[in-house]
Structure formats: C-alpha cells, structure tokens
Structure 1
Amino acid sequence: MSGWKERLLVLSLLVVAMAYVESAVVVYLRQVYGISDLLRDVPAQPDWPPPIELGREIATLAMLFAAGWMAGRTGAARWGLFMYAWGLWDILYYVWLRVFIGWPASLGDWDLLFLIPLPWWGPVWAPMLAAALMMAVGVEMARRSEAGWLIRLDRWSIAVGGLGALLALYTVMAPALHALPGGWEAIGRARPQEFLWWLYLLGWGLVAFAGWRIARGRPPHLSL
C-alpha cells in the first residue's frame, strides 16, 4: 500500500486537468455549431459528428485507462482506478462547464451524453449518479486489491450487473434505438421526450449491488 494516497492524489489531479480540457473543447464545439439548447440545436445530418469527434471520445477513454493502469499496482487495482478516474472526470466535466458557461442550469437539464455506438440522451443527474458509483466501487476495489484481498468476478454478479447495465443503457439510448429502422438521418433527428427514471434507477441499483459485491472481495486468509 506504499504511496497509495499519493498515487490517488496524482491521478485525481490529472483527471481535474483532463476534465478542464474536455469541457473547454465542448465550449468550442458549441460555439462552432451555434448550440445553446442541445435538444434544439444539435445538428441532425447523418455526417455529424465527424469521425474525428468520435475518435476524441475513444482517445479520452484510452487516456483515462492508461492513467488508471499506471497508478495501480495489481490488475484489479488498475481496473478500479480506471473506473475511479472515469467517474471523477465525468463529474468534473459538468463542474467545469458550469464554471465556463453556466451550464447545466440544473441537474435535470438534458445532455447528449455519448455517441458510441448510438447517441445517448439523459438528464445530467443520470451520468453523475453513474459516475459517483464508478468512483466508489473503483476506489474500494483498488484499495482492497492492493491490501491483498482477492477481487474476483462471479457469475451472479456478472448476471445482475449485466442486466442492470442493459436497463440503464436502454433508458439513455431509447430515442436512437426507436429511430434505428429509419437509418442514420432518423437517428440524428431523434430527441428524447421523456426519461424513464424509474427504469434507470432500477438498472443503477442492480449495477451498484453487483459492483459492490465484486469490489469488497475476500480477505487474504480466505483467498486460497
């Protein structure tokens, strides 16, 4: 556990800076495309966003993964710190946007959350709740793993967590999924009319149960 707090602090500082950069890029994109209201102003043409923007999202996740991997000392700790970094980055992304442009005005504001493989739509509180869970589960998994606890996936956790993830993903991808038969142009025009918050919270709860079950691991003397 030598240097655990120092490594977590350095990782957190890196994530603060990455969130700043991500938020700044989004501010520029909003200015370029004239976006003030996401539901109304996001371009609907099938060639938006360009491949470069999709690549930026992938590159961001790759950097977060690399940072978590370098900060951890065991396999489970590396994955856990990647989850922690991703969650913290997501929360700070909204914090920086609030500082820069005063958005979101509330946690209920709609946001275009992600673009891979289809657009994700949801109120700001939804990704922030998911991010908080990732941080809690990730840091606990990393801490226990580096203390010698055995972190292992089990079938029950995989099944429960997988079901929860599918439910949560459906709620944020529902507009795009319903528009899928109409092709990419219909997907680009699709906008959410309501958010199935109860279904999202059910999915979140299942993922939380599975994640915490995995993160708590087993004590060293029971790992044989």
Structure 2
Amino acid sequence: MISWKRHVIALLLFGTAFGYLEAAVVSYLRLLHEPVRLRYYPTRPAGELFPLLTAEQAAAAAGAHGRKVLLTEVGREAATIVMLAGVALAVSTNAEQWAAAFVVAFGVWDITFYVFLRLLLGWPASLFTWDVLFLIPVPWVGPVIAPALVSSAMILSGIWHLRREGTARPVRLRAANWVGILCGAVVILVSFTLDSGSVRAGGMPSPFHWWVFWMGMTIGLGGYASAALSNRAKARATSTKARLLARA
C-alpha cells in the first residue's frame, strides 16, 4: 500500500508545477492584452486589472476573433479543473480520498500560481490586490488574500484527511457534513460573484464582502471539522473501552 505521504508529495509537486505553468500562460496573456487595455484606459496605473474591458470593447479590439479568444480562455479554465481532478483520481481509491486529493492539488496550484506570477511580473503588489479569479459561469473577483485563505484551508483539510485514511481513526463524512461543506463553498462563491455584473460592464468592484466570505468559510470548515472531531472522539472511546475490557 502506497503511503499517504507519497500521495501528498505527488500532489504538491503536480500543483506547484501546474501553478508555474498557469502563471507563465497568464504572463504571456497580460503582455499581449496590455496595449489593448491602454487604448481604452490610458490613465490606468500599471498592474491594475480594473476596470476590465467590456464585451463590446474586447470584440472591437479583437475583431472577428474576439468571441473565439474568450471561448478559448473559458475552455482553458475548464481544462485546468479537469486536470486537477484527473491527478486526484490517480492517487485515490474512493470518493472521499478523491475529494481530499483534489482540494490539496487545487490549493497548491492556486497559491503557487500567485507566487510565480509575483516572480515573473512583480504582480500582485500585495495580498489585497484585486484579481479576476475565474470566469465560469460568471467572473469571480476579489482580493488575492481571499482565495489564498480558501486554498490554505483546502490544503490543510485535504492533507489531514489523507493522513487519517488507513488508520484506526479515519474521517468519515456524513450527509450533514457534506451539506455544510457544499453550502459553505456556495456562500464563498457568492462573495466572489456579487460584483460580477458591474465588473463585466466596465465598472470598478465595490469593497469586498468579507462578512459573506467569512460566513462561508465558517460554514464549510465547520462542516468538515465536526466530522473530523466526531470520528476522533469515537475512536478514542472505542480504544478506551477495549483497554478496559482487556484489563477485566
């Protein structure tokens, strides 16, 4: 049986390499798109992503290829998720292991992406610099620190789950735990997409909705932590009972 440590190392290596690949692609895209953005927003400070080009501005700049470029970018993001899901599948044997491996790979990819982007472009200027996080199904926007916090929680939870697999105290998620985790994820997603309409229209994002974000984090982490702590308590009770019976 391959140890959980080897699985985690594989996920860390893949996520880090993939983070660099993503940063390299984005650095090329920004170098190509910057002259177009300066045409519409000549006074915008260097390194600032907002305001974004509207669909009409992007179409006018790219001509007949505008829609194709946008669809290609959306396809690239979808392919990213498929690749992360695929490597998680390669190191897992059941659904819970797959979910744990996926969140580890995703979290490492996301954090190292920003690390390498900082090394390649000197961006983001700080953890509170705003970024376009994703485009599916609508633009997700927020300060860099927000997805970094989510990814950190995903990495820690995923590694903890994989570490407990194969032991006498594995974490087993019940339906209520899954509901909590998924509801938390949805609330976090809402915090990233509340300003998608104004951003797509060429506006500036409003102050980040931290209270919505932290509500989602609390619900999601609570859903997982309740399962982890419950299973650990049951395992300790079983172990204590076994020792008492052995002494009797």
Q: TM-score normalised to the size of structure 2?
A: 0.77
Mean Cα deviation higher: 138-147 or 108-117? 138-147
Q: Deviations over 1:128-187 (max 9, x none)?
A: 0000111111122222233362522322x34433443333222210112x55xxxxxx83
Equivalenced residue count is 213
Aligned to 2:175: 154
Aligned to 1:132: 152
Match of 1:37 among 31, 36, 48: 48
Q: Deviation at 1:68?
A: 1.2
Aligned to 1:208: 221
Aligned to 1:55: 75
1:167–1:199 CA contact under 8 A, matched in 2: yes
Q: Percent identity?
A: 31
Q: Deviations over 1:24-56 (max 9, x none)?
A: 00001101110632113x321155661111111
Aligned to 1:96: 116
2:5–2:163 CA contact under 8 A, matched in 1: no
Q: d(CA) in 2 for partners of 1:4 and 1:161?
A: 23
Q: Matched residue of 1:192: which SS?
A: coil
Q: Does 1:118 align with 2:128?
A: no
1:164–1:203 CA contact under 8 A, matched in 2: yes
Aligned to 1:23: 23
2:184–2:217 CA contact under 8 A, matched in 1: yes
Q: d(CA) in 2 for partners of 1:6 and 1:152?
A: 23
Amino acid at match of 1:26: V
Mean Cα deviation higher: 57-66 or 27-36? 27-36
2:128–2:143 CA contact under 8 A, matched in 1: yes
RMSD in angstroms over aligned alpha carbons? Answer: 2.4
Q: d(CA) in 2 for partners of 1:75 and 1:164?
A: 19
Q: Deviation at 1:188?
A: 4.5
Q: 1:139 to 1:188 in 2, by over 3 A?
A: farther
2:114–2:124 CA contact under 8 A, matched in 1: yes
Aligned to 2:10: 10
Q: d(CA) in 2 for partners of 1:215 and 1:22?
A: 33
Aligned pairs (5 A) from 1:182-221: 187-215=200-228, 218=231
Aligned to 2:164: 144
1:81–1:138 CA contact under 8 A, matched in 2: yes
Q: 1:190 to 1:161 in 2, by over 3 A?
A: farther
Q: TM-score normalised to the size of structure 1?
A: 0.84
Structure 2 unaligned segments of length 5 or more: list them. Answer: 38-46, 57-65, 239-248
